[in-house]
Amino acid sequence: MSADAKTNDVLEAPRLGEPYLLTPGPLTTAFPVKEAMLRDWGSWDGDFRGMTAELRRELLAIAGDGSGEYDCVPMQGSGSFSVEAMLGSFIPRNGKVLVLMNGAYGQRIAQTLKYLGRAHVTIDKGDYMPPRGSEVAAALDADPAITHVVVVHCETSSGILNPLREISEAVYGRGRKLLVDSMSAFGAVPAGVDDFRYEAIVSSANKCIEGVPGFGFVIARKSELEAAKDRSHSLSLDVHAQWAYMNKTGQWRFTPPTHVVAAFLEALRLHRKEGGVAGRGARYANNRDVMVAGMRQLGFETLLGDEWLSPIIVTFFSPAHPDFKFERFYELMKAKGFIIYPGKLTVVDSFRIGCIGQMDAHVMQKVVAAAAESLAEMGVDTATPPALALAERARLAA
Ligand SMILES: Cc1ncc(COP(=O)(O)O)c(C=O)c1O
């Protein structure tokens, strides 16, 4: 591919006949991102050390750290490894955590704390209700032993965008510290150090920056990184040790995912070219708006009201029609080039459609057309959900 073709292609359709991944990651990546993996790198070599330094610099720039108060520490593994590394490194062994839960990833945080043996309490809002600042404030006022609050930014299991600003204000207004799992939001939703206050935030390579899976990263206040020395329960998940070694040698402590890093630098270039967080967020929001409007025209209903719909992933109720079977709908959509995602609600059947990755409104219109065709092939003449689902949603809105 010529250099010109490369720089002109911010948005690339899959070239290899692959289906689009309408999922929260791994997601559909640009061709140049895949192409960047076609060479090998020595992990100790100066070129690769330069790539690691660039990656850290760029991520700090996305986080808007102008003051140099924060640093970025990439960690090998999937996103959960970085979440666990953050919790084990920044929460003192005698600390106490308030976990805000409204879905699977909040629950995973509580489960991780259990493994780590850190005292914790939870506010559990069920499948999708947002934890509010006032509830956090009341919980912190009631329990002075709580030192840290941990929250998921976009709870990917329902697609809700949690109100981070009001939560952060409640936390710091009471002198406590906030740690954020921004896995599926960072890069497309404002999550910079000036957007809301936090000590550390985590995301991974294969979400809104649109890289391939293989590492996560922690952006943390340097004072917290210093304080984390000798605290971690784990050798490989010790954020302080990775940070100190990387600063000293420019290298990762253990084998780095070299090709993933190379792909990620290309993904960062495309992210910059698209206009950074604002540009990427605008495309995803437009993807959501086009897709949701089209699906509603077919009779589908979203789990969440517009106020809480993230530009990342949207949950739809499954239609009440007796001939609608998700497994068949999935296969029909896949045959048309779109991989959708099962739902995670406990009360009613649902499925999810992601808005992130190398897709635009044009693609989302095709997704809606494919959904209409798939319904017709199943003999489903309306996508209206069951009354129970609508009652559940009305309860949420009340
Ligand atoms: C909010 C959130 N947290 C944590 C994770 C876990 O990441 P991984 O599956 O890469 O371990 C995900 C994955 O989608 C997520 O969306």
In short, whether 80's Cβ falls inside 6 Å of ligand 1 is yes
In short, whether 385's Cβ falls inside 6 Å of ligand 1 is no
C-alpha 203 to ligand 1 mean position (Å)? 8
C-alpha 189 to ligand 1 mean position (Å)? 16
In short, whether 105's Cβ falls inside 6 Å of ligand 1 is yes
**For residue 13, what pLDDT band results from cuts at 50, 70 and 90?**
low
C-alpha 204 to ligand 1 mean position (Å)? 8
Residue nearest to atom 2 of ligand 1 (CA): 183
Predicted local confidence at residue 128, as pLDDT: 82
Number of the ligand 1 atom closest to the C-alpha atom of 157 = 16
Which domains can be identified in the chain, with CATH numbers?
20-29+276-397 (3.90.1150.10), 32-272 (3.40.640.10)
Q: Give per-residue pLDDT as tens, 307-338.
A: 989 999 999 999 999 999 999 999 999 999 99
In short, whether 103's Cβ falls inside 6 Å of ligand 1 is no
Residue nearest to atom 1 of ligand 1 (CA): 183
CA distances from 296 to 140, 167, 265, 349, 385 (A): 40, 32, 38, 17, 11
C-alpha 105 to ligand 1 mean position (Å)? 7
Average pLDDT over residues 8-18: 63
Q: Give per-residue pLDDT as tens, 171-220.
A: 999 999 999 999 999 999 999 999 999 999 999 999 999 999 999 999 99
Residue nearest to atom 7 of ligand 1 (CA): 79
C-alpha 182 to ligand 1 mean position (Å)? 9
Residue 5 reports pLDDT greater than 90:
no
In short, whether 358's Cβ falls inside 6 Å of ligand 1 is no
